[in-house]
């Protein structure tokens, strides 16, 4: 098939919808959904997604380059792969989303909004993932889901990962991969959510992570050299080769509290330039919404994803605490 990204942006089904290379068989399943099966025995099953938010283009370009090399037969494949460009309509428009944030609709939450393209897309992605993992997949075969994003704001950690609530210990080789991918920080959720990675983890026991790689920029404006380690680690994962040497272990954070916009009265007491992982001291007023006040409760908390423009009922920010050091030092 032609370039996976360009095919998806065209909105047209490819003329040829399946084929093979010396290393793999591929099948186009739907717009932005491509399945790759190695001709050798697969080591694991991997869902690789990007473009859930249509303005987050760096991971889309990075993933497309990897898929393109596989489709051209330039590299071997050792994993079963479901490659997903999550929100084609938003990608074409260059917008985060058109009506609803798809990454808040998983786990059946799409049923709570009006019937629209984004609700139907969340359902389609849930179905594709379920079919992929349950289809001829050995029970002992590891399941991983890497969902590639960029952050809206700048960040004191340029590359970081957000892991969903998980009742089970995280596999060591999964954490090792995230470390080799050059992530500077890992954030561990303490409550369920409507994200794609939480859906994979909660419903299919997949080791899953939302990777935040840089800041949202238009197609062609990304400096992909910032993510060289992630690209190398992803290439090694796909081909079953040894991982690149990690430079350092990522810092670890745990979600301490969530800031939720409850109404139109919501006010976030942070300016537009406040970076992710900015530290706030105990007692600092973070936001107000009518009678509700959000205040720093721990000795020091770090903000993540502050966004006062979300719809009422949605998350307007997370506050984190450090887990990996006795001396809590701001990352900046």
Active site residues: 212
Measure the CA–CA gap between 196 and 52, rounded to whole angstroms. 9
Which position has the token pair 């990675």? 197
Compute how many other C-beta atoms are within 10 angstroms of the C-beta atom of residue 161. Answer: 26
DSSP β-ladder status, 45-50 and 80-85: parallel
Round to whole Å and give the CA distance between 301 and 297. 8
User: Which tokens belong to 109?
Assistant: 């939450």
Within 8 A by CB and 6+ apart from 217, the residues are 57, 58, 150
213: which strand partners?
159
Alpha-carbon Rg for the chain, nearest whole angstrom, is 20
Q: How far apart are CA 70 and CA 79, in angstroms?
A: 12
Q: Do the Cβ atoms of 48 and 149 come closer than 8 Å? A: no
Nearest C-alpha neighbor of 230 from the set 183, 283, 165, 290: 183
- Among residues 32, 27, 28, 29, the alpha carbon closest in space to that of 6 is found at 32
Establish whether 53 is an annotated binding residue.
yes
Q: Is 301 annotated as a binding residue?
A: no
Token pair belonging to 258: 């969530």
Q: Is 149 annotated as a binding residue?
A: yes
CA distance 200 to 132: 12
Q: What are the binding residues?
A: 53, 56, 149
Q: What are the binding residues for Zn(2+)?
A: 53, 56, 149
């Amino acid at each position: 098939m032609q370039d996976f990204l360009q095919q998806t942006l065209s909105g047209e089904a490819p003329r040829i919808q399946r084929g093979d290379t010396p290393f793999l068989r591929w099948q186009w399943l739907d717009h932005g959904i491509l399945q790759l099966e190695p001709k050798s025995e697969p080591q694991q099953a991997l869902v690789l997604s990007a473009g859930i938010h249509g303005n987050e283009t760096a991971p889309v370009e990075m993933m497309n380059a990897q898929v393109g090399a596989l489709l051209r037969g330039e590299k071997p494949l050792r994993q079963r792969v479901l490659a997903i460009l999550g929100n084609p309509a938003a990608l074409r428009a260059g917008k985060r989303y058109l009506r609803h944030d798809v990454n808040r609709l998983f786990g059946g939450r799409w049923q709570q909004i009006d019937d629209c393209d984004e609700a139907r897309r969340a359902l389609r992605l849930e179905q594709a993932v379920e079919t992929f993992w349950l289809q001829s997949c050995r029970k002992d075969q590891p399941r991983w889901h890497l969902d590639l994003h960029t952050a809206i704001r700048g960040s004191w950690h340029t590359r970081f990962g957000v892991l969903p609530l998980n009742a089970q210990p995280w596999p060591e080789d999964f954490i090792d991969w995230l470390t080799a991918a050059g992530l500077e920080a890992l954030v561990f959720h303490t409550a369920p959510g409507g994200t794609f990675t939480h859906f994979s983890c909660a419903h299919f026991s997949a080791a899953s992570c939302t990777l935040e790689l840089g800041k949202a920029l238009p197609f062609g404006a990304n400096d992909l050299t910032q993510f060289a380690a992630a690209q190398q680690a992803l290439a090694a994962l796909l081909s079953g080769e040894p991982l690149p040497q990690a430079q350092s272990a990522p810092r670890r954070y745990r979600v301490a509290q969530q800031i939720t916009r409850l109404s139109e009265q919501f006010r976030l007491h942070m300016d537009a330039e406040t970076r992710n992982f900015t530290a706030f001291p105990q007692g600092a007023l973070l936001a107000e919404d009518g009678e509700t006040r959000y205040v720093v409760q721990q000795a020091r908390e770090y903000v993540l994803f502050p966004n006062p423009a979300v719809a009422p009922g949605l998350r307007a920010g997370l506050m984190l605490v450090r887990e990996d050091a006795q001396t809590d030092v701001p990352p900046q």
